[in-house]
Structure 1
Amino acid sequence: MAFLSHVRTVIAIAAVAAVSVMTVPAQAGAARTADPGIPGKYATVEGEYDLPGAGIPELEKPVEMRALVIAPAGVTTGRPVVVFLHGRQDACYIPGTDNYQDGWPCPAGSQPVPSYRGFRSMQRLLASQGFLTVSISANGVNAQDGLDDYGAQARSSLIRLHLGKWADWAGAGAEKAPAIVRQAAPADLSRVMLAGHSRGGEGANRAVMDSLTPPPSEVDGYRGRVRWTIRGLVGIAPTNSGQNPVPDVPSMMMLGGCDGDVGPEGQMYVDATRGVSTGAALHSALYVIGANHNFYNSEWTPGQSAAPSDDDWWLTDDEVCGPGRPTRLTAAQQQKAGATYLAAAARVFLLDDDAVLPLIDGTGVSAPSAGPARVLSHAIGAARRPVIIPGPDLSVEGARLCEQVTGDVSRACQPRGDDEPPRSPHFMGYNYMEAEPGRWAVQLQAGKPAVLTPPQAAEAAGGLAMRLIVPPNTTGNTFDVAVTDRSGRRVDLGAVSVDGLPGTRNTASQWAREVRVPLRDVTSVAKLEIRPRGSAGGWLLDAWAYRPGTPDPQIRALPRIDVGTARVKEGDSGTTTLGLPLTVTGTVTDTAQVRVFIDNTTSTVLTVKPGQQRLTVPFSVPANTRFGDNTLVLLHAKAVRGLMVGNYYRTSTIEDDDPAPAIEVEATSHVTEGAPLRWGLRLSEPADTPLCLYGPVVAAGEGAELSTTDLDPQWLGEYGVTPEPSRPLSTVGLDTYHCVAPGQVSAAVEIPTVTDDVAEGPERIRIDGAIDLRSRTVPYTLIGEVADR
């Protein structure tokens, strides 16, 4: 990549921000380089293609093959390609109303939500700068993505199906290409960047992975050769349920400070790459102050969209993110900032243009055309080399080594209550795991110098880049920095200042800022000293020896692991063990590691040896002869070193193979008012699971019906019903639910009645109930009659 030719420019910019970070809300320093938000010189052409739908495994109905193309016109040389994939919105809407419509294809009277048209302004900017852009429609996936991976694999298949078509049109299939493809500049498929919003970001990440190392054939919707090279990934407020980034392909993630939908999940596309592979690829995170989730897509934005849309930030009185607050961006401002920084990534990843690199690599400069938007960045990878990576082998004095994700408050970097959202994007757990070993930070204490000694001195030159978190809304956080080299010589490097981001208890504003100091006459670091001044405190995520530029990212097809499923019968005695499968695709040449999580409770690290193609994780349960539920076992996987993880989560089953006990239900109950109606439930033998009779109170049929004033008011109140005014029980929506507990053989359905002085004659109640017995449901009708005293 263009390294030497841009070193001088990048170093000049870096020096401006070498010993401090501009404060917020002040805008970061403007870049002294070409502004990627300014339209380019190319005339453009735009249009759509709509091909026959495609079948994708795990989806019942075919998915549309539709896209909006905006590309340079009148150009005969191949142009780099940027492919957009929108996120998950309802698939269909009813025009002229505020209503969505379920179903796929869209039922009569409804139309597909045109989410794929929502990046038109971004596409037009890129096309004017010489990039061919394609925005794909994915409503067919959105309507059917109730899957373990929320449709990530299906979205990957859809992206690669489109890329396969473009590869056809670039070759022998050129004459069959749609009109807009023939009018557009030729596609250079050796230079492709994917840009995905929301769940489209996770699908795009999977498509990058699948283009390097294919997924299992049974889940893959693309079966052709890979005839393209993906050189970069941009996530626009992306989801990241799998925390499974592709470590060797450069990426940039946009995180919204006021994202009310998925929050800052995308941070793990950066953090989770650390230590997995060579570290040569740049992974950048942008924090866009005041940006929500939806406004990046104009078709999800009120006043711009064809279908119903809204502002996803839910709390109107939030001091930072409430509508109209000074820190919030308007839709136009957010879309302009998104387009500008997306164009910066395209230039870095596809044109090897390091002149705009300072906008996205933590240097601390901004693009003037992004206007009032305040966009901050940090990065790992590229020309950085590790100096301090917190972990058990790091000696820590004057500070505290803490765990990013743990339920143990004494070890947690940031303890929080059960209902309290994470305050830092860096401390978010993996798919709701309570604990995730192996993720560490250093908590710095106000006024107390911290001395950090790694197990080995690190080679270092150029500058020292650190990712520091400070509390939101704080100012004047200054840290003195010094190092000791391997000869024992101590060197003061200067001070860095970091102000907190705007935040409330509802925002994840404890996001790391990148700060740098020059390593003057330093070639190694054996100790790092950080001295917080005054009341300053915070957390150090990592520290790196930094040089500007982007060396060759060394994109390679790492081996991948996919979690599979298994099923076994429980058996009658002893212990039954289920082998939870993980398949290995690709060649493992060096020892690799993956962490597996079983049932969201325990985890362990597995080693994958060279040549190994399959791993199994044992899970055991005691066998018996009592009826019970199937045991569902959740297995998650996350890369540690030397591999990628595709299908990160699957559910396996230990099938209970015992017959249900015989059930006797007393069908009638006759009482005098004031006594409880009672229907007994009896089992022929205990079960290992609750057996519950449930069902609604319905019209009694013959005779007078019990009313609300005939029952105990406290009992009614438990069901949210008041006695007055008196009305038939079948009209108030009463549903009963009574269980025989595990290990027990009897229970009763009881409804307390009250006495009154009204001569009413016999009154009746009817419950149409049922008991679920795994694969079948057995109906039972309960009749009760209450006589006057």
Structure 2
Amino acid sequence: MRKKALVVGLFSALLMTGSFTQAVAAEDPKVVSAPAKNWWVSKTPDGYLVTVRLDRPAPIRDAKPMLAADGRPIGPAEESADRKTLSLVTQDASVLQAKEIRLATPTDQVGKKSPAAGETDEYWLKPRQGPLLGVDPAAPGGYKVGINEYNLGDQAVFLPGLRQKSEVRGRVYSPVDASGARPVVVFLHGRHLYCYGIPWWEGQPWPCPAGGKPVPSFRGYDAPAKALASHGYQVVSVSSNGINAYDHLAPDAGSQARAELVLHHLGLWRTWSTTGGGPFGQQFVGKMDLQNVGLMGHSRGGDGMARAATLNAAKGSQYGVRAVLPLAPTDFTRATLPEVATSVILPYCDGDVADLQGQLFYDDSRYAARTDDATRSTVTLLGANHNYFNTEWTPGQSEAPSEDDWPGTGQEQCDSGHPGRLSAQEQQAAGAAYIAGFFRLHLGKEKAFLPLFDGSDTRASSAGRAVTRVVSQAPRTARLDVSKLDQPLPDGSTTGQATASVCAGNDVKPGACVSGANPLTTPHWVRGARVTRTPPIAVTKLSWTGTNGAVRVDLPAGQRDIRQYRDLTFRAAPDPAGAAKTDLTVEVVDGLGKSAEVPVSAVSDALVALPGGQAISWLPKVLLRTVRIPLTDLPGINLGDVRSIRLLTDRVASGSVFLSDLALSTPGLGQSGPSTLPQVSAQAAVSRMQEGNVGGLNDYFVTLSRPSTVPVVVYAQTTSRMPTIVREEGHKLVFQPGQTRHRVTATLLPNTRDGDDVLVGLQLSAPVDTVIGAASFGATELIDDDPTPTLTIEPLKTTEGAGTAAFQARLSAPSDRWVTVTGQLQDGTAVLGQDYQSTSSGRFVGADLGPGVQSGPLEVKVVNDQVKEPEETFSALFDQVINAELPVPTTVSATISDDD
């Protein structure tokens, strides 16, 4: 990285006072909005670049920071190296007229709720509940649990995906006196505060500076770890504070680095469990079955564990990763995880990853491989927030400061103290039940736990009063996909006063399923923060205005004998623009014209809107849920000759619903293991290049590890954390059988302004019949070659009656970086407090000049004493400047003329 000539300081006064004066004049014609404080909008080839400057670094949390324009969320933002500048590109031209752009808050969009908001809250306080499972997955087993820890240092491993070093530290839960090699489950926490004992916005990122202590997030999963260990599993919970300190600089927000860290730990355990050594000597020799491995990741850890599973496959499947459980996960790059059993836990009251984007792991993986025979599910856990699954993130239980992440207003279904909200202990018990049950099912083959994950809403007793809704996709060999409902139906499929159309996304454009709703309420249509051009999933929207409507799906010859299956299933959700409760009738017709009918409401509450929305607009969520009809509920028809399945609108006069994934299936485990698919990777033609001034082209190559016998699809997006450097473009790449390489050319934009060296690259997403290989992001480091601008500060001349006056700071050329100058006011014949004052506190004077802004004031207040006196002087000693050339210290004079 090229070093700029600058003087760097912590300038904590700047961080604490919040008293920057933003320059308002914009010499650069690209700046089309110049507000008076800390945000502006610039025109770019891809839309509008929105930039916000914070007084302190953005809070450390798992989700990307969301920006809002006049209280309307406009999208997730990228963070600068100091986490104080947030930026995003939007095509929404209304940002030009915004009166305020800032970090989004929980109260944004109040009053913009759907008509159905809150109407079903009473129902969800006492909802339909399935039967209790006969065996409890989290009940203590027959083994005592031993706990050990290891710590190989704070900078013990270099992670290429982060270009930084991380700690290697873990906590091991073992079944005491268990014989033989045992299944291994690895836990990975998410992005949380990494040091405590010092202000979180101060000091070097990692290791913790003097006075700071590492937050022991890896110790927060005792309940599920002990439950598993007591039943004979080896559980390793690893620490990733070093990644949390730096992952805002990673192209993929750290998922590759987390995967590398997990595989590094598994590599250590391969040695420690075979030849021994390390911190445990011979204690674990012969005790770890690394061909039967499960991965649980919380939040960004979930993203990392999904990547670990595919990276393991790319490295030759050294470890038998057979089950992955992302817990309240992020999914910034729309990864897919075929051929590996997966269950995603979605806490309905998540106040961090509030858009429940982990839903995309399920949606994008459903049909991602023809060879996929694994089962997958989502478990929506009502009343649960993001943090409380980890005791080290829970107030009253944690060593470091912690909080309830749900930003309650006192009236909402998810607020602390509301009857619908789980206590921390209740949430942890429910989490332990589903985490333990999932791994006992898929690693231990304890089929008694299948009903927890097959969509039948069977409950675990240790989960207590927790309300769950489970969506499941059965293995391919036990499933007939009648219609994915993501393509237009044949002509004549819809009759009566009904229409069926394919929709995708949450947008104001035609063809969207939801028009401009708060993106936090529509998890199926979240735009991946790093892959905004990858298309959202499509579903069918069925709307009707009468009770004579119907939509029909025919079964082709050869698929009409459905007797081998147990259930007829599909996913459904009410349209938030319609009624909170609606209903349909499912009719199955055989070859003789005989039919059987089942109301959806008789078997499922999928068409009852989820709770919330009375106080803030993060709720209710629009989530497709399971409608499951046992074939035994279809008497009187020939199941060996079923001709069609119809959805009738005979129960409600008007309505609108979303539909997806019509299938016949039988629950089962299928086959799960490391993926055997070819891997797709991205690589830049050159790893480093000079930026230049006129732009140009840069090539990337997307390659398959081996030829495929079927077409392979992957999406690719040219992107950078600095959106004014490269044109962001999306590409759908199709590898025909035998083809192993595509070339993608990125357009580098002209740039003559000083800036940071940045990575420009190609991000892969949503692969089909392939998995992401060694590199999901092909990167070129673009070396900035523009000179650092010179800063000049003009003397101040004012009169007593002016009120506020300013030294004027000017740059010799606009910059793409934030230029900060700070100093101290010094008395001459004028005295601080009597004749002039700082606009912030003490003797501080300073200013920020944002990217593209070439001049700005460094303000002081002038005291009008109404006493006739001679001209007075003082000065400012500027001793810190960042990202500009200015000899320091530099003293600039100020003169106050008397006007009495």
Is 1:260 aligned to 2:351, yes or no? Answer: yes
Counterpart-to-counterpart distance in 2, 1:69 and 1:200? 18
| Letter in structure 2 aligned against 1:329 | L
Corresponding residue of 2:361: 269
Whether the 8 Å CA contact 2:530–2:763 is kept in 1: the answer is: no
Deviation at 1:365, TM superposition (A): 1.5
Separation in 1, partners of 2:830, 2:508 = 60
One-letter amino acid of the structure 2 residue matched with residue 617 of structure 1 = V
Q: CA offsets, 1:422-462, max 9 Å, x none?
A: 21321222117666425212223355535255897893623
1:71–1:185 Cα contact (<8 Å) kept? no
In structure 1, how many angstroms separate the alpha carbons of the residues matched to 2:848 and 2:137? 62
For residues 567 and 488 of structure 1, the distance between their equivalents in structure 2, rounded to whole angstroms, comes to 70
Give the Cα separation in 2 of the matches to 1:457 and 1:777.
80
Q: 1:682 to 1:295 in 2, by over 3 A?
A: closer
Tell whether the 8 Å contact from 1:321 to 1:328 is kept in structure 2 after alignment: yes
Say if 2:569 is the partner of 1:479: no
Matches of 2:534 and 2:472, distance apart in 1 = 23
The residue that corresponds to 2:195 in the other structure is 92
Please give the secondary structure, in 1, of the residue aligned with 2:551: strand
Structure 1 pair 603/144, CA: closer, same or farther in 2 (3 Å)? closer
On the 8 A contact 2:196/2:215 being kept in 1, the answer is yes
TM-score by length of structure 2 reads 0.71
1:387 counterpart = 2:506: no
Shift of 1:127: 1.9
Counterpart selection for 1:298 from 381, 388, 391: 391
What does 1:211-610 correspond to in 2, within 5 Å?
211-214=312-315, 227-263=318-354, 264-278=356-370, 279-382=372-475, 383-395=478-490, 397=494, 398-416=498-516, 420-431=518-529, 436-437=534-535, 439-445=537-543, 447-448=545-546, 449-451=549-551, 459=559, 461=562, 462=565, 463-470=567-574, 477-483=582-588, 491-497=595-601, 498=605, 499-504=608-613, 505-507=617-619, 509-518=621-630, 521-522=638-639, 528-531=646-649, 533-534=651-652, 536-553=655-672, 555-564=674-683, 566-569=687-690, 571=692, 576-585=696-705, 588-599=708-719, 602-609=729-736
| Counterpart-to-counterpart distance in 2, 1:728 and 1:469 | 54
Question: In structure 2, what is the Cα distance between the partners aligned to 1:741 and 1:88?
Answer: 32
Q: Deviations over 1:693-731 (max 9, x none)?
A: 763464255442688988xxxxxxxxxxxxxxx668884
> Equivalent residue for 1:160?
263
Label 1:318 to 1:198 Cα distance change in 2 as closer, same or farther (>3 A): farther
How many residues were matched structurally? 729
Seen in structure 2, the aligned counterparts of structure 1 residues 138 and 664 have a Cα distance that, compared at 3 Å, is: closer
Name the residue aligned to 1:39.
140
Q: Match for residue 761 of structure 1?
A: 870
Deviations 1:35-92 (A, max 9, x none): 3233223343333344466312245765343332222222323322222222223333
Deviation at 1:211, TM superposition (A): 1.3
Distance 2:392 2:851 in 1: 51
Per-residue CA distance 1:596-655 (angstroms, 9 max, x = gap): 23448542201234565554322235668x556589756432124112235545665665
Question: What's 2:11 paired with?
Answer: none
Residue 476 of structure 1: CA displacement?
5.2
SS of the equivalent of 1:272 reads helix
Q: Alpha carbons of 1:702 and 1:592: their partners in 2 closer, same or farther (altered >3 Å)?
A: same
Q: Do the aligned partners of 1:699 and 1:730 also contact (CA within 8 Å) in 2?
A: no
Distance 1:623 1:248, change over 3 A: same
Distance 1:680 1:189 in 2: 65
Q: Quote the Cα distance in structure 1 between the aligned partners of 2:515 and 2:648.
A: 23
Provide the C-alpha distance between the structure 1 equivalents of 2:827 and 2:662, rounded to a whole number of angstroms. Answer: 77
Measured after TM superposition, the shift of residue 480 of structure 1 is 0.6
2:55 is the alignment partner of 1:55: no
Shift in Å at residue 32 of structure 1? 4.9
In the alignment, is the contact (CA less than 8 A) between 2:194 and 2:215 conserved in 1? yes
Q: Is the 8 A contact 2:138 2:228 kept in 1?
A: no
Deviation string 1:492-551 (CA, Å, 9 cap, x unpaired) is: 442212233222222353222211224553556666435373255321132222222222
Q: CA deviation at 1:325?
A: 0.9
Q: 1:73 to 1:618 in 2, by over 3 A?
A: same
CA contact (8 A) 1:71 1:127 kept: yes
Moved more, 195-204 or 31-40: 31-40
Q: How many Å apart are 1:306 and its aligned residue? A: 2.2
User: What is the CA distance between 1:250 and its match in structure 2?
Assistant: 0.6
Q: Are 1:406 and 1:434, in contact at CA under 8 Å, matched by a contact in 2?
A: no
Partner of 1:151: 254
Q: Please give the secondary structure, in 1, of the residue aligned with 2:540.
A: strand
Please say if residues 286 and 375 of structure 1, whose CA atoms lie closer than 8 Å, have aligned partners that are also in contact. Answer: yes
1:129 to 224, 231, 246: 231
**Whole-Å separation in 1 of the counterparts to 2:398 and 2:736:** 52
After superposition, the Cα gap between the structure-2 partners of 1:766 and 1:693, relative to the gap in structure 1 and judged at 3 Å, is: farther
Q: CA RMSD in A?
A: 4.2
Which stretch of the first structure deviates more once superposed, 726-735 or 159-168?
A: 726-735
Q: Which residue number corresponds to residue 12 of structure 1?
A: none
Q: Which moved more, 1:693-702 or 1:424-433?
A: 693-702
Q: Is 2:202 aligned against 1:74?
A: no
1:272 shift after superposition? 1.1
Amino acid at match of 1:167: R
Partners of 1:110 and 1:692 in 2: CA distance: 28
Match of 2:898 in 1: 788
State the secondary structure of the residue aligned to 1:56. strand
* Structure 2 unaligned blocks of 5 or more: 1-122
Residues 340-361 of structure 1 show CA distances to partners (whole Å, capped at 9, x for unaligned) of 1122211221123333211112
Q: 750-759 or 542-551: which moved more? A: 750-759
Distance of 1:562 and 1:762 partners within structure 2: 70
Residues 730 and 642 of structure 1: is their aligned pair in 2 closer, same or farther, counting only changes over 3 Å?
same
Distance 2:158 2:400 in 1: 26
Contact 1:387–1:525 (CA<8 Å) still a contact in 2?
A: no
Q: CA deviation at 1:384?
A: 2.8
Higher mean Cα deviation, 128-137 or 469-478? 469-478
Give the SS at the match of 1:268. helix
Contact in 2 for aligned 1:484/1:491 (Cα 8 Å): yes
Code of the aligned partner of 1:404: A
TM-score by length of 1: 0.80
Of the structure 1 ranges 390-399 and 324-333, higher mean CA displacement relative to structure 2 is found in 390-399
- Higher relative contact order by CA 8 Å / sep ≥ 6: 1 or 2? 2
Q: Per-residue deviation at 1:464?
A: 1.9
